[in-house]
Amino acid sequence: MPHLSSLLAFGLVSLGMALTPGPNMLYLISRSICQGRTAGLISLGGVALGFVFYMLSAALGITALLLAVPFAYDALRFGGALYLLWLAWQAVKPGGRSPFQVRDLPADGPRKLFAMGFVTNLLNPKIAVLYLSLLPQFIDPQHGSVLAQSLTLGSVQIMMSLTINAIVAVMAGSIAVFLAQRPAWIVVQRWLMGTVLAGLAVKMATEARR
């Protein structure tokens, strides 16, 4: 098991990542607004399967490899920081869009909804960065099995992300209507999102390897 402080710290990082919109949240919001809450939750099931894939990949060797190769670790760490900065810029740049602005999507059946949720998460660079760059910083080989620590931390991340995304999928329509009636809130939401992402990027780039 990871140390309690590492578990809590990774939980907070996972919560922060879950609250910052990325491909998963954008797809779930769009699907929920266009096709209803049930479609959003079915899509979330596919997203959950994608999380499990990443968690098992990390637990079965990727994490151990990164811990053993410092140059690879640092490359991924700085690459992850740059990606987060790019996301921050996308949020605050002139003409940037809020994830709750309505996008038109065709209606799909349950099987395709699930598959698209899975593929969206599988190709989500934010989740790849989380597992390849962030998770290894919270693993201490001297504190027990790397496999067990990876699975525990991964389970925390999945729980955090699914909880946040389920709430977003259920409430997406109401939030979209609220923001559409209050344009100033869209600007505030975009800048808040950009600030959080930039803060995570700086933290990732400047923290020493654990």
What percent of the chain lies above the pLDDT cut of 90?
A: 13
Q: What is the Cα–Cα distance from 96 to 89, expressed in whole angstroms?
A: 9
Q: Which of 21-25, 145-149, 196-200 has the highest mean pLDDT?
A: 145-149
Angle at 60 between CA 54 and CA 65, to 5 degrees: 95
pTM (2 d.p.): 0.68
Longest dimension (CA), the chain: 54
Which of 130, 152, 108 lies closest to 54 in space, CA to CA?
Answer: 130
- Side chain identity at 204, as an amino acid letter? M
Give kind and range of the element (H or E) at residue 145: none
Q: What is the mean pLDDT of residues 138-146?
A: 76
Residue 1 contacts by C-beta under 8 Å, 6 or more apart in sequence?
Answer: 7, 143, 144, 148, 149, 152
Q: Which residue has the higher pLDDT, 37 or 16?
A: 37
Which pLDDT does position 188 carry in this prediction? 75
Contacts of residue 79, Cβ cutoff 8 Å, sequence gap at least 6:
129, 133
In the chain, what is the straight-line distance between the N-terminal and C-terminal CA atoms, in Å? 16
Phi, psi of 160 (to 5 degrees): -60, -50
pLDDT at 28: 86
pLDDT in tens, 47-92: 999 999 888 887 776 555 655 666 666 666 676 677 667 767 776 7
Cα–Cα distance measured from residue 89 to residue 168, given in angstroms and rounded to the nearest whole number: 23
Question: pLDDT digit string (tens) for 93-128?
Answer: 776 555 555 556 677 889 999 998 898 888 777 777
